[in-house]
Amino acid sequence: MTSLDIDEVRACFPSLKSGYIYADNAGGSQTTQGVIDRIVDYLTNTNVQLGADYLVGALSSKRVDEGPFTAAELFNAASIDEVGFGPSSTMILENIARALENDIQPGDEFIITYEHEANNGPWKRLAERRNAVVKYWEPTPVSAQNPYSVAYKVEELLPLVSSRTRLVAITACSNILGSLVPVEEAVKALRQRAKEQGATKVEVSVDCVSYAPHRKMDVRQWDVDYCVFSVYKMYGIHNAAVYVRSAALKTSLTSITHHFLKVDDKPYKLQPGGPGYELVYGATAIVPYLKSLTPEDDLVASFNAIANHEQTLLAPLLRFLTDAKQVDRGVRIVGRSEINLSRVPTVSFVVVGQNAIKSKDIVGVFDKKGGIGIRYGHFYAYSLIDNLRPKLDVNDGVVRISLVHYNTVEEVEKILDVLREVLA
């Protein structure tokens, strides 16, 4: 497997030159120089409204039209007419829920996970508006020694499927647990189960916000209907991309944009306003950056190299936190503790027991020392934290260290130095 040239990788991120250790990447990654350059270029040379016939207006439109090609390649969508952009993954999914309203009947059932509210809250609100029923696919413990070591099991999803199942919303990677959900396996199994139960129309919404920076998405292979990721967590800037299967655009969604606009069953029907022109054009630098990581000039090869490097970051962190000494101290990983490719280097933990330490206080030590950025809290996966047992203070939440491929083993060691001091 091709290895990353970490020096070349880090040279693409101007913010890393400061030496600051960014270890809150699940909250937002750093931005490549290529993305920054395109934003500056757009604002400097083509910052006009789209649709004008004059020279600068035509160039502006051409640049923004390049954005869907980037999103389609990242999603592996069948067409650029199945992808679009919006201000955030949360807002995009809220818009989809609004557009889906006329296609939901009282008594329809939604299955959702205890994860980030982006792919959770919109469906709960839609269910309330349309008198639908919400069911929860809950994570359950996988370790008798650690009740916080929870995971989503496909065999526990299937009993929730019935003849009334209308929508299933899952998270490809938990922003708390760091574990990958086997999306293709889960969707295949639930669709078979729905068929056996006599469900007539089941759509699947996948949150890839914490998945996209680490693994290659494939909405066609997964057989899903809706999918989102946040560009600013994938080495870009503050907007998001969406995939909507063409069949859903035609048969499920009503336009929520201006009534006089001809939307032709494209994602624009979900976009009541401009997509952030300079941000969309800036996002077109992401695929070239990712492909530059390996000689193959191929996204699959690049993501394989990313996954391989990220395992070298994950291993020392998990080994330290799951060492017998730390377990006796009260350290508990929230999520699985195995070091393998079914996990990304987003590691959450708590310190419980007689000598418990608040998550806030652990992060406070890092903040006081300076030079390393990590965070604590529920990270908008409020329901997940609130439903862990033994119960945690949901606002204090967990300590989360989230790494990506531009982090180094040396940075991990510096993080561990602080943890050794805190947990001594």
The H or E element spanning position 290 is helix 286-291
Predicted local confidence at residue 274, as pLDDT: 82
What is the SS3 assignment for 16?
helix
How many of the other CB atoms lie within 10 Å of CB of 354? 6
DSSP string across 182-219:
-HHHHHHHHHHHHHHHT-S--EEEEE-TTTTTTS---H
Which pLDDT score, from 0 to 100, does residue 237 have? 93
**Residue in 399, 307, 388, 373 with CA at minimum distance from that of residue 140:** 388
Burial 15-28 (b: 16+ CB within 10 A, else e): ebeeeebbbbbbbe
- In this prediction, residue 1 carries a pLDDT of 62
45-289 is a CATH 3.40.640.10 domain: yes
Neighbouring CB atoms inside 10 A of 323's CB total 12
Amino acid at 382: Y
Superfamily of domain 6-30+298-422: Aspartate Aminotransferase, domain 1 (3.90.1150.10)
What per-residue confidence (pLDDT) applies to 261? 86
**All structural domains of the chain with their residue ranges:** 6-30+298-422, 45-289
pLDDT at 53: 94
Which residue carries 């870009």 as its tokens?
A: 236
Contacts of residue 100, defined as CB under 8 A and 6 or more positions apart, other chains included, come to: 126, 167, 252, 253, 254
State residue 265's pLDDT score.
Answer: 86
Q: What angle in degrees, to the nearest 10, is found between the helix axes of 89-99 and 121-130?
A: 20
Residue appearing with tokens 């999103």: 71
Q: Single out the residue of 311, 345, 243, 285 nearest to residue 3, CA to CA.
A: 311
Query: How far, in Å, are 167, 244, 316 from residue 414 at the CA level?
Result: 44, 42, 11
Q: What is the per-residue pLDDT for 275?
A: 87
Three-class SS of residue 308? Answer: helix
Can you tell me which residue has the tokens 């920054």? Answer: 36
Q: What is the DSSP letter of 292?
A: T
pLDDT along the chain (424 residues), means of 10: 91 98 98 98 96 95 96 98 96 98 98 97 98 98 96 98 98 98 98 98 98 98 98 96 97 94 87 91 98 96 98 98 98 96 97 97 98 98 98 98 98 98 96
DSSP 3-state of 369? helix
